Structure 1
Amino acid sequence: MSQYYWGVDLGGTKIECAVMARKDNRCVVRKRVLTQSDKGYVHILQRIKLLIDKCVEVVGEYPDAIGFGTPGALDPQTGVMKNCNSTALNGQAFDKDLEDVLGTKVILANDANCFALAETHLGVVKRLKPDAEVVFGIIMGTGVGSGLVVNGKLINGLHGIAGEWGHNVLEPNGAPCYCGKNGCLETVISGKGLEAHYKNLAKKALSLPEIVKKAAQADSYAQHTLTRLIEKFGLAVAQVINIIDPDVIIVGGGVGNIDALYEHAPKAIERHLFNSRLETLIVKPDLGDSAGVFGAAMLVK
């Protein structure tokens, strides 16, 4: 068995590879290249091959398997990618094409799944509750993604969307979502959703960090936007807890950086719980932007 395990995080603008030491989970190589997705699907495959070859030059051996974190999911029923915001991947047999180009075994998982897996084994869950049975990882940034880890292993599900949370409807008469429904979580509590709500109230556009700053300065529209975030987050998270009863919920992404969420969301969650009190830990991640690529590598460890 190789002394290393490999992961690749495929993003819309960059592709990142990490080579990890099997004995201590230390990252020994980490490199990035631009995705250049505007040049098409075949070019993305070539960029990945270039990145792998760069890492091989450093460690001196070729991987026998590589885990990939992807911006969508591989549909186990059809064998092709779906729900990718890097649209060139949609409808493609990405795993098979990667194996042809790279000449090695490939395992794919959604990037939010990789986030949850890494924080479970290498990050905040390992630090705070290493005996956790059920972990739910959320990425609340431009969109909303999530992943589910049970007994240390990813749960993928029949359709490859187990743990998916961002496209459950929160406001049936809400804003249209790219998925075709209205009022999805992603349209309500993502960074873009919060910015859109503030703009609708204040009639001017601000970035999410600016809204948070304005709320601290007693801007009523900004305060309303954050209060709404907390209430809607509480309702949506309570539904997750009522179904899967996780030990830990990790909240990553730009929205996850809002301190008020951790201060006030527990009360908002408790109002909707079947259980009488909230005991699930609601925490920030430890690994930052390393989580995706480290989690991808753990797919093949």
Structure 2
Amino acid sequence: MNRIGIDLGGTKTEGVLLDEQYNILDRRRVPTSGTYDGVLDGIAGLVEGLDPGESTVGVCTPGSLSPSTGLIRNSNTRYLSGRPLKGDLEGLLGRPITMENDANCFALAEARMGAGRGYGTVFGVIMGTGVGGGLVVDGIIRGGRNGIAGEWGHHILHRDGRECYCGEKGCVEMYISGPALERRWAELTGRSEPLKEIMGGVHGSVKWRHEFMDNFGAGLANVIDILDPDVIVLGGGVSNVPLLYSEGRDAVYKRVFSDIVDTPILRNELGDSSGVIGACLL
């Protein structure tokens, strides 16, 4: 049976159709609507366009489904929160779908088909507009009892730190997401620049660089202390920062509660396709 995967992103929604050997048969993209009803129509249109037949359908979303209510929660796309996205899509499409958050889909794709192949316990990290994570053990997503396994972006890194949209203060996401890094750069230098340009002149702000590496190191060291995964795979726009695989790795290792630390911290292999491929694999 063929598989349809849908990746609901902040600016674009992508769909792919895979055959049973995971060959891509079709790929389509549409702009993501700024309204809930528009999102429903966009996803339904992609699915029908890719295959109106019997293919399985997996959807990758920002935020996660509450196991108690079936509603979207913890989404930084605010108009999705509290909505029955899965149920509404199933009603529109007239067939069942599987839904997971974007970090879990990323982790699944990289564990089965990307940088995490061959490792038993894979922790997939998303560092982009937000910070999230997914845990895959022996090729299966482990969501945990409450469905929040991997949410390291909302560990408290600095008590009474920066306010987060989740209602807490000092979350990891408020320090090492792309927007957070750009805001901090502007605070220190007075210049508003995208992260890619900042990295080109990062030596001009030793304080910014030190804070970034220190926060990244503390955040991921906590993950290793708790889970001790076989590999960590980084994804999202911030994962393209080369420092993470040298200085960043060292900053992680020096904080881990062990005399020997050799956890591989790897760049993803599937790039922007990880979410939509992960959705297919659901």
TM-score, normalised with respect to structure 1: 0.90
Letter in 1 for 2:90: E
Q: Aligned to 1:6, what secondary structure does the other structure show?
A: strand
For 1:244 and 1:193, how far apart are their aligned partners in 2?
A: 26
Q: Given the alignment of the two structures, is residue 258 of structure 1 paired with residue 241 of structure 2, yes or no?
A: yes
The structural deviation recorded for 1:43 is: 2.7
Q: 1:8 aligns with which of 3, 6, 9?
A: 6
Q: 1:36 aligns with which of 14, 19, 33?
A: 33
Instruction: Show the 5 A alignment for 1:281-296.
Output: 281-296=264-279
**Residue 67 of structure 1 contacts residue 107 of structure 1 at CA under 8 Å; is this kept in 2?**
yes
**Residue 135 of structure 1 contacts residue 249 of structure 1 at CA under 8 Å; is this kept in 2?**
yes
How many residues align? The count is: 282
**Residue 4 of structure 2 contacts residue 280 of structure 2 at CA under 8 Å; is this kept in 1?**
yes
The structural deviation recorded for 1:270 is: 2.1
**Residue 64 of structure 1 contacts residue 105 of structure 1 at CA under 8 Å; is this kept in 2?**
no
Q: 2:96 aligns with which of 102, 105, 112?
A: 105
**Residue 141 of structure 1 contacts residue 190 of structure 1 at CA under 8 Å; is this kept in 2?**
yes
Aligned match of 1:26: 23
Q: Aligned to 2:123, what secondary structure does the other structure show?
A: strand
**Residue 14 of structure 2 contacts residue 276 of structure 2 at CA under 8 Å; is this kept in 1?**
yes
Once the two structures are superposed, residues 58-108 of structure 1 have per-residue CA deviations (whole angstroms, 9 ceiling, x without a partner) of: xxx613431110011100011111122332222122111111111111111
Q: Given the alignment of the two structures, is residue 191 of structure 1 paired with residue 178 of structure 2, yes or no?
A: yes
Q: Given the alignment of the two structures, is residue 208 of structure 1 paired with residue 195 of structure 2, yes or no?
A: yes
Q: Given the alignment of the two structures, is residue 54 of structure 1 paired with residue 37 of structure 2, yes or no?
A: no
Aligned match of 2:87: 96
Letter in 1 for 2:18: M
Once the two structures are superposed, residues 252-273 of structure 1 have per-residue CA deviations (whole angstroms, 9 ceiling, x without a partner) of: 1222111111111232122221
Instruction: Identify which range, 289-298 or 180-189, moves more after superposition.
Output: 180-189
For 1:18 and 1:257, how far apart are their aligned partners in 2?
A: 24
The structural deviation recorded for 1:12 is: 2.2
**Residue 148 of structure 1 contacts residue 162 of structure 1 at CA under 8 Å; is this kept in 2?**
yes
Aligned match of 2:110: 119
Aligned match of 1:160: 147
Larger Rg, first or second structure (1 or 2): 1
For 2:128 and 2:40, how far apart are their aligned partners in 1?
A: 26
For 1:45 and 1:254, how far apart are their aligned partners in 2?
A: 26
Aligned match of 1:65: 56
For 1:192 and 1:293, how far apart are their aligned partners in 2?
A: 23
The structural deviation recorded for 1:34 is: 1.9
Letter in 1 for 2:271: G
For 1:79 and 1:180, how far apart are their aligned partners in 2?
A: 21
For 2:74 and 2:81, how far apart are their aligned partners in 1?
A: 7
- Structure 2 unpaired stretches of 5+: none
**Residue 4 of structure 2 contacts residue 50 of structure 2 at CA under 8 Å; is this kept in 1?**
no
Letter in 2 for 1:51: L
Letter in 1 for 2:261: L
Q: Aligned to 2:79, what secondary structure does the other structure show?
A: helix
Aligned match of 2:68: 77
Once the two structures are superposed, residues 124-177 of structure 1 have per-residue CA deviations (whole angstroms, 9 ceiling, x without a partner) of: 112xxx1x1111111111211111111110011222211111111101132111
**Residue 154 of structure 2 contacts residue 173 of structure 2 at CA under 8 Å; is this kept in 1?**
yes
C-alpha distance 206-13 of structure 1, shift in aligned 2 (>3 A): closer
Q: Percent identity among equivalent residues?
A: 41
For 2:254 and 2:47, how far apart are their aligned partners in 1?
A: 49
For 2:55 and 2:13, how far apart are their aligned partners in 1?
A: 19
Once the two structures are superposed, residues 218-249 of structure 1 have per-residue CA deviations (whole angstroms, 9 ceiling, x without a partner) of: 31x2x321222111111111111111111110
The structural deviation recorded for 1:182 is: 1.1
Q: Aligned to 1:85, what secondary structure does the other structure show?
A: coil
